[in-house]
């Protein structure tokens, strides 16, 4: 699950799970208590968190949960401290976000998690940035980074290195569904095309994709061309051992530019006219490219979403 998906999924139930499980703070998660007026110390916390997360790998700030050290000395969620009035607090977050760092971090989001009336919690999403380094302002005036469960001052050499950092690609498994054959009785053959999607701001070269497609779906024997063809969008790699994963890889001549879905392979399916739902499509995958850390995740497309796309009227 991506950082943005975790942000969208956080709700009251998730807050309760944090407390029940004594969720530890980590490189992508921080808990804060706060004054709804966002006082001076709270503004510094905001600036340090936005600077630290954006200069690292991004993260979430959960406001309204107190963290204390457990027996192992690790900070973990231990008590609710609901914020009231919540609307005022989120308004203050939005007010100070633009002044929290220089340069401004693009893509910071805040949302309310209402418990009762205008009381509850808030979550801040801070994406990783390739436009940094970002200095924490609002009285901090330091470059911060996230290390474990702490925000730490960056050393001079770290700041210097970041000024020369290139724009980064962000690679995920993307998909699109299309009808391949419309049968007279309303049944359809469909295809789900899978590919490497670059949602970052830099180009990716020499991409690699590993897939494990969970039953009942399986890789099409015809590749991207459909009946009569076997073309794949990246060469299929041969493994020397039996493995459920199917792997594809390209040379440095293959470049995936920002905003592009580079189609790799496909899955074929069949939908009867009377069917209102089909099995969820679940794929475990790993993706990387030259000079990019391997990213592993699970793509889950609900059967209802697949049906909705397949039956969507053409325009």
List, as one string, the DSSP characters of the chain: --HHHHHHH--HHHHHHHHHTTPBPBTTEEEE---TT--HHHHHHHHHHHHHHHTTT-EEEEETEEEEE-TTS-EEEEEE--BSSHHHHHHHHHHHHHHHEESPPTT-EEEEEEEETTEEEEEEEE---SS---EETTTT-EEEEEETTEEEEPPHHHHHHHHTPPP---EEEEEEEEEEEE-TTS-EEEEEEEEEEE-SSS-EES-EEEEEEPTT--B-TTTTT-TT----SSPBPPPSS--S-EEEE--TT-EE-TT-EEEEEEEEEEE-TT-S--PPEEEEEEEE-TT---EEEEEEE-HHHHHHHHHSPP-
* pLDDT band (50, 70, 90) for residue 111: very high
pLDDT of residue 295: 87
> What pLDDT, in 10s, does the model give residues 139-171?
999 999 999 889 999 998 888 877 766 677 889
Residue ranges matching CATH 2.60.40 in the chain: 171-311
Residue ranges matching CATH 3.30.950 in the chain: 3-163
CATH of 3-163, one of 3.30.420, 3.10.20, 3.30.950, 3.30.70: 3.30.950
Neighbours of 85 (CB within 10 A): 14
Q: What is the CATH number of domain 171-311?
A: 2.60.40
> What pLDDT, in 10s, does the model give residues 122-133?
999 999 887 789
Neighbours of 171 (CB within 10 A): 24
pLDDT of residue 204: 93
Q: pTM of the entire structure?
A: 0.59
* pLDDT band (50, 70, 90) for residue 312: confident
Paired tokens of 306: 């697949």
pLDDT of residue 87: 95
> What pLDDT, in 10s, does the model give residues 184-241?
788 888 999 999 999 887 899 999 999 999 999 999 888 887 665 568 899 999 866 6
Task: Find where tokens 């401004």 sit.
Answer: 104
> What pLDDT, in 10s, does the model give residues 24-81?
999 999 999 999 999 999 999 999 999 999 999 899 999 999 999 887 778 899 999 9
């Amino acid at each position: 699950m991506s950082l943005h998906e975790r942000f969208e999924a956080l709700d009251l139930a998730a807050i309760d799970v944090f407390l029940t499980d004594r969720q530890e703070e980590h490189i992508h998660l921080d808990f804060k208590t706060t004054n709804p007026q966002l006082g001076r110390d709270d503004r510094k916390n905001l600036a340090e968190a936005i600077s630290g997360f954006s200069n690292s790998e991004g993260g979430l700030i959960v406001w309204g949960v107190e963290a204390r050290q457990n027996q192992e000395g690790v900070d973990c969620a231990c008590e609710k401290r609901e914020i009231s009035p919540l609307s005022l607090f989120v308004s203050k977050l939005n007010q100070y976000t633009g002044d929290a760092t220089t340069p401004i971090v693009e893509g910071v989001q805040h949302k309310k998690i209402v418990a009762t009336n205008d009381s509850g919690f808030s979550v801040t999403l801070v994406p990783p940035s390739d436009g940094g380094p970002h200095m924490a302002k609002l009285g901090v005036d330091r470059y911060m980074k996230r290390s474990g469960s702490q925000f730490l001052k960056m050393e001079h050499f770290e700041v210097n290195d970041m000024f020369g950092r290139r724009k980064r690609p962000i690679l995920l498994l993307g998909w699109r569904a299309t009808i391949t054959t419309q049968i007279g009785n309303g049944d359809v053959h469909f295809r789900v095309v899978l590919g490497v999607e670059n949602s970052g701001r830099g180009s990716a070269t020499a991409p690699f994709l590993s897939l494990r497609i969970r039953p009942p779906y399986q890789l099409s024997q015809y590749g991207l061309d459909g009946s009569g063809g076997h073309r794949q969008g990246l060469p299929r790699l041969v493994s020397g051992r039996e493995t459920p994963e199917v792997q594809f890889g390209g040379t440095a001549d293959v470049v995936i530019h920002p905003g592009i879905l580079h189609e790799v392979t496909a899955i074929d399916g069949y939908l009867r006219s009377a069917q209102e739902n089909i099995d969820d499509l679940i794929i475990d995958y790993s993706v990387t490219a030259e000079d990019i850390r391997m990213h592993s995740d699970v793509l889950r497309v609900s059967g209802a979403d697949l049906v909705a796309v397949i039956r969507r009227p053409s325009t």
